[in-house]
Amino acid sequence: MKKSYFAGIAIVVVALLLCDPIADPGLHFKIPIVQSVNSLDKRFLEWDGAPVAIPTRDKTYIHVDTFARWRIEDPKTYFVRLHDERSALSRLDDILGSETRNSIAKHDLIEIVRTDKNRQPLRDETLKGGPTGTIGVLPPIVFGRQKIEDEIKTAATQKLAQFGIAVLDFRIKRVNYNPDVLARIYQRMISERLQIAQRFRSEGEGESARIAGQRERDLNEIQSNAYRQVQQIRGESDAKASEIYARAYTQNPQAAEFYVFLKTLETYHKIFTKDSALVLSTDSDIFALLKRAGKTSGSPAPAETSTKPSP
């Protein structure tokens, strides 16, 4: 008589012949020496695969770490084909590992990384409303990680059924990049950041050019208005001065001659310097003025002034 305290299945062997498995707890009997009892666990069992390097369809090497949950579905078949859990784990390593490599090799890296087809990435508010290239844009996927996991589970379940094993669940626990792939990913991240920085730099340069252009337009407008006002004031003042001169010097003929005399003196003052040498004709106004000035003062003409008859 044997009393069972574990959540398992008892396989009774009688003279090398298997009896029906005993899965119910309670009191059971066996014949000593003739019968032997082999215990199997009927709970959900764990399988943790070793990380393996696998190339994807787009020739990217990744390290994939997987795990699964399984149980004994057919105790007789399991006992005959595998006998113990150690052999079962070895068979799981072969079949699940093989199916994992086959499935991953048929899909691109993006299919293995992403799970949701409708997932939208979070984007910086400062990047909205402008061209950012491929930044923040997820390429579309067809399958996704979950379907790939279901595909591996279905294929492995069909092969493990002949060993009395049922795969309850299969998951990809972790995906790590190969060091060479990591370098390319970091370079891509750097290029994306540089692209964003270049966009901000271009926007800043454009805004600077716009402000500089507006400043030049405002400055030209201010200068133009100022020049117009200056010319207007100058014209009005010249007109006013001409009006005053006209009233002052048109009262009698002597005033007009005096005005001509003053203007002539102003002209002489502008054209004569200390070391000026003039060549004048006898019929020029300046010669006549200098001649009258010399007679009036009783002194000869200035030494620096020479005359020459005009041809």
Choose between 290 and 47: higher pLDDT.
47
Q: Which amino acid is residue 210, in one-letter code?
A: R
Backbone dihedral angles phi then psi of residue 248, each to the nearest 5 degrees: -75, -40
pLDDT per position as a tens digit, 229-248: 999 999 999 888 888 877 77
Q: What is the mean pLDDT of residues 253-272?
A: 75
Residues 3 and 104 in one domain: no
**CA distance to 237, 256, 260, 263, 286, per residue, from 251 (Å):** 22, 8, 14, 17, 26
Q: Which amino acid is residue 297, in one-letter code?
A: S
Instruction: Report whether 114 contacts 140 (CB < 8 A).
Output: no
Residues 56 and 104 in one domain: yes
pLDDT at 229: 93
Task: Work out the percent of the chain whose per-residue pLDDT is above 70.
Answer: 73
Residues 152 and 88 in one domain: yes
Residues 37 and 134 in one domain: no
The residue from 177, 205, 235 where one domain ends is: 177
pLDDT band at 214 (very low <50, low <70, confident <90, very high): very high
Q: Does 279 map to a domain?
A: no
Choose between 93 and 279: higher pLDDT.
93
Q: What is the mean pLDDT of residues 15-43?
A: 63
The residue from 159, 177, 195 where one domain ends is: 177
pLDDT above 80 (res 277): no
Q: What is the 3-class SS of 163-206, one letter each residue?
A: HCEEEEEEEEEEEEECHHHHHHHHHHHHHHHHHHHHHHHHHHHH
Residues 81 and 135 in one domain: yes
Q: Does 83 map to a domain?
A: yes
Tokens of 85: 């859990």
pLDDT at 255: 74
Residues 86 and 163 in one domain: yes
pLDDT at 35: 60
pLDDT above 60 (res 4): no
Residues 70-83: b if buried by 16+ CB within 10 A, e if exposed? bebbbbeebbeebe
Residues 36 and 93 in one domain: no
Q: Does 166 map to a domain?
A: yes
Q: Does 153 map to a domain?
A: yes
Domain that holds residue 21: 1-43
Residues 21 and 79 in one domain: no
Q: Does 302 map to a domain?
A: no
Choose between 144 and 237: higher pLDDT.
237
Instruction: Report whether 104 contacts 195 (CB < 8 A).
Output: no
Q: What is the CATH number of the domain that holds 90?
A: 3.30.479.30
pLDDT at 9: 56
Q: If you compute the radius of gyration of the chain from its CA atoms, what whole number of angstroms results?
A: 55
Task: Work out the percent of the chain whose per-residue pLDDT is above 90.
Answer: 26
Residues 52 and 166 in one domain: yes
Give the least confident one: 3-12, 23-32, 59-68, 208-217: 3-12
Q: Does 81 map to a domain?
A: yes
pLDDT per position as a tens digit, 73-116: 888 888 888 888 888 899 999 999 999 999 999 988 888 888 77
Choose between 285 and 70: higher pLDDT.
70
pLDDT at 230: 93
* Cα–Cα dist 83/79, whole Å: 4
Q: Does 89 map to a domain?
A: yes
**CA distance to 47, 54, 109, 161, per residue, from 148 (Å):** 18, 14, 12, 20
The residue from 177, 200, 218 where one domain ends is: 177
| DSSP-derived 3-state class of residue 15 | coil
Residues 13 and 76 in one domain: no
Residues 146 and 156 in one domain: yes
pLDDT at 14: 44
Residues 186-219: b if buried by 16+ CB within 10 A, e if exposed? eeeeeeeeeebeebeeeeeeeeeeeeeeeeeeee
Tokens of 39: 């215990």
* Cα–Cα dist 70/75, whole Å: 13
* Cα–Cα dist 282/271, whole Å: 19
Dihedral (CA of 152, 154, 155, 157) sign: positive
pLDDT above 80 (res 207): yes
Q: Which amino acid is residue 95, in one-letter code?
A: I
Instruction: Report whether 148 contacts 112 (CB < 8 A).
Output: yes
Q: Which amino acid is residue 176, in one-letter code?
A: N
Residues 29 and 50 in one domain: no
Cβ count near 183 (within 10 Å): 11
pLDDT band at 138 (very low <50, low <70, confident <90, very high): low
Tokens of 195: 């692209």
* Cα–Cα dist 117/28, whole Å: 55
The overall average pLDDT reported for the chain is 77
Domain count within the chain: 2
pLDDT per position as a tens digit, 167-178: 999 999 888 887
Instruction: Report whether 182 contacts 113 (CB < 8 A).
Output: no
Q: Does 307 map to a domain?
A: no
